[in-house]
Amino acid sequence: MASLEIREIRKSFETEQGRMTVLDGLSFRVRDGEFVSVLGPSGCGKSTLLNILSGLLPYDEGEIYWEGQRVPHLRSRAAYMIQKDLLLPWRRVLENVLLFPEILGIPRGESEPKARTLLMEVGLQGFERHYPHQLSGGMRQRVALARTLIANKDILLLDEPFGALDAITRANLQDLLLHLWHRYRPTILFVTHDIEEALLLSDRILVLSAVPARILEDLAVSLPRPREVTDPAFIQLKAHLLRLLRKSHPPPERAT
């Protein structure tokens, strides 16, 4: 059963050059517990899509369905994590993770054991009383991931959460995300412009064109996990996706 169904979502913005269409009739489904990546060139509207689903942006046309029921957005059903960790600098690590339960009025006695368990699972046991400025970028993203998971939402909207990290830290956090996904089995919609990242993580990849964004392909990734970038089947899929994106977004012509 599809947890999430998007039907003909369109979104435009006013610019100095006039009205610009960013999303041009996107339609797709995400099944319960599925890991789906949205892949596309920078500026193609991937973040706009997540902002619409989270209720941060209105959309011009289209419909959103959750478990068969039409909804205006997924605000009450989704946890949203972006590239910036947005940790509150005056709160210690544990207090940052406990922010959402605190906002919801959940007693600390109920939420703190879960927060400590999540910090242990993301490798930050012993750092509960540290402040954000005392952590590395990767550690801060681990805190942000724990804070996202403690919200206990049905779907995670992840907008390039590892995009600003170095290659080794990113790889470690990709492995961690897959481990936590296998353990808790949320539905995940993951935005990235990195082909390898999408192939390493996803059950399916929605490939967007340059603006106005349309879905070029809905690619099922049937490779067994864990996946290796040196696997010939992986390399073949990567080449296919690269050709698809280049065809949609050709490089500018060189001056003669």
Q: How confident is the model at residue 136 (pLDDT cuts 50, 70, 90)?
A: very high
Single pTM value for the model:
0.92
> What pLDDT shows up at residue 80?
94
In this prediction, residue 173 carries a pLDDT of 92
Query: What is the band of 91 on the pLDDT scale with cuts at 50, 70, 90?
Result: very high
At 256, is the pLDDT very low, low, confident or very high (cuts 50, 70, 90)? very low
**Total count of residues recorded for the chain:** 256
- Averaged pLDDT, 12-20: 87
Q: Please compute the mean of the pLDDT values over residues 99-113 and round it to a whole number.
A: 91
User: Rounded CA gap, 141 and 157, in Å?
Assistant: 15
Average pLDDT of the chain is 92
9 contacts 212 by C-beta, under 8 angstroms = no
Cα 49 versus chain centre, distance: 11
Handedness of CA 208, 53, 73, 184 (dihedral sign): positive
pLDDT at 104 > cutoff 90: no
Instruction: Report which of 185, 190, 201, 189 is spatially closest to residue 237, judged by C-alpha positions.
Output: 201
Checking if the pLDDT of 249 tops 80, the result is: no
